[in-house]
Amino acid sequence: MASDEAPSEATIVLASRGQRLSGHVLEMALFGLTLGVGWAFWFASTGRGGQTPAKRLLGMRVIDAEGRPASLRRMVIRDVLLKVVAFVLLDLLLLSMEVEGGLNLALAGVVAWLVAALWCVWDGNRQCLWDRVAGTRVEVA
């Protein structure tokens, strides 16, 4: 197969639900341990091949709709804008809202992120919500 040809659907092996969830946990741990800075540099070097630091360690990669490794641009949209920035903005918006009784709406932002992350558990293509928006899937590399 030439390098510019997309793989057939039969050759794509999607990452299991357990692999996806392990990836989330490891990604958060790596981000926290490196205070985000080390993770960002690592991501800059692995993102071109459709991998985050955790996916690299766990032998997975993000692919586009054609089955090719996701571009760095798509990875930034998926992993930085959709996974982080959107939920930070949601949390800031919720924190700014006043609610009677002192209910902390920031917890709603965390719950929304968890629902988006756990979406792969019941999704037929094992896609999290950010995968659906970015048009990506995660396969075993």
Mean pLDDT of 63-71: 96
Q: What is the pLDDT of residue 101?
A: 56
Q: What is the pLDDT of residue 77?
A: 96
Q: How confident is the model at residue 36 (pLDDT cuts 50, 70, 90)?
A: very high
Mean pLDDT of 7-31: 91
Q: Residue 60: enclosing H or E segment and its boundaries?
A: strand 60-63
Cβ neighbours of residue 95 under 8 Å, at least 6 residues apart?
105, 106
Residue 2 has pLDDT above 50, yes or no: no
Residue 59 has pLDDT above 80, yes or no: yes
Q: What is the pLDDT of residue 95?
A: 77
pLDDT tens digits along 82-113 = 998 998 898 888 877 766 655 667 678 888 99
Question: Is 124 or 100 the better-scoring residue by pLDDT?
Answer: 124
Question: Is 33 or 96 the better-scoring residue by pLDDT?
Answer: 33
141 within 8 A of 52, measured Cβ to Cβ: no
Residue 63 has pLDDT above 90, yes or no: yes
